[in-house]
Structure 1
Amino acid sequence: MHDLAALEADGIATTFVASSEFVTATDAQARALGFASVPAVYVAHPIQDRTDPEMAALADEALPRVLAAVTGAPPTA
């Protein structure tokens, strides 16, 4: 989160990617850093026991939202 805040402050678009379990923690840390609106993309939780094909499917599903977060464009489906 510290890196995202520093990069965003330098004008470099970023996004935070994590599982949905970390929504509350992400918001709390962002507020603590004075980073009011962290660009974030969340995938289904848990991820540690997923197979490689399941992880690839999560990544494929998240990619449009990641690209939208860093470009400011609406996600494409």
Structure 2
Amino acid sequence: MHDIIDLEARGVPGVFVATTEFVDGAEHQARALGAEPAGVYVEHPIQDRTDAEMDAIADRAFAQVLAALVKPA
């Protein structure tokens, strides 16, 4: 969260990616930091996923990440 906020403050567009387990935490942290960063949530958990499963998760999230990056401010 801090990295995305820092990048945006420098004029670099960014999107954070987190699992659905962290929706509430991300929203609370963003509010506490006074920011509204773009975010994409993927399925949880990811820690025990194979490389192929991670590739599939990334492929499914790619369009959302791209859309968030090019969305007008």
Same topology, TM > 0.5:
yes
Counterparts of 1:20 and 1:47, CA distance in 2: 10
User: 5+ unaligned residues in a row in structure 1: which ranges?
Assistant: none
Determine the structure 2 residue equivalent to 1:20: 20
When normalised by structure 1's length, the TM-score is 0.85
Instruction: Please list every run of at least 4 consecutive aligned residues from structure 1 whose deviation after the TM superposition is greater than 4 angstroms.
Output: none
Amino acid paired to 1:28: H
Counterparts of 1:3 and 1:50, CA distance in 2: 25
Q: Is residue 60 of structure 1 aligned with residue 52 of structure 2?
A: no
Query: Contact 1:27–1:38 (CA<8 Å) still a contact in 2?
Result: no
When normalised by structure 2's length, the TM-score is 0.89
Which SS does the other structure have where 1:46 is aligned?
A: coil
Determine the structure 1 residue equivalent to 2:31: 31
Counterparts of 2:66 and 2:51, CA distance in 1: 22
The number of aligned residues is 72
Counterparts of 1:72 and 1:21, CA distance in 2: 25
User: 5+ unaligned residues in a row in structure 2: which ranges?
Assistant: none
Which SS does the other structure have where 1:13 is aligned?
A: coil
Percent sequence identity is 56
Amino acid paired to 2:63: P
Counterparts of 1:24 and 1:53, CA distance in 2: 28
